[in-house]
Amino acid sequence: MDQRHGWSCGGDYVLKEFAKRVKKLIGKDHILARVGGDEFILLLPNIESEQCVIALADQIIKKMQKPIFVENNSFVATISAGITIFPTVTKEVHMIIRDADQALSYAKQNGRNHYQLFNEIQPEVPFLKNLIEF
């Protein structure tokens, strides 16, 4: 948003509103962290299944389709999400984040308001658990 409209149009407010909306959807033991620009990482310990992660991704996308009002402007944020589920062949955090970032890139290529599971991109990589990157 800021690249198109500039920081003066409320980019920080939109990011804060995104975080507020996501926090209402996640559990108390989940962690939402902004890693830079408009990218966030969401850590979800103790998730019961891949379907729970997918359901949460769908809820976040739906929640962000409601407009965000800043001064005299309204914005509808589009969401792209790369999802990895830990554990994997590696337990190194930077590799797990790299996998989520790869899934995120694939999701962006396939349109906005979309998520991509890393294991769907590379089926030869074992199923990953408990990390979503936004």
Mean pLDDT for back-to-back runs of 10 residues, the chain (134 residues): 53 87 91 88 86 92 90 85 78 84 88 82 45 46
Task: Give burial (CB, 10 Å; 0-12/13-18/19+) of 50.
Answer: middle
| Domain at 32, CATH number | 3.30.70.270
- Give the per-residue pLDDT at 131: 45
Q: What predicted TM-score, i.e. pTM, was given to this entire model?
A: 0.76
- Give the per-residue pLDDT at 109: 87
- Give the per-residue pLDDT at 72: 82
- Give the per-residue pLDDT at 11: 76
Domain count, the chain: 1
Which domain covers residue 32, as residue numbers? 2-133
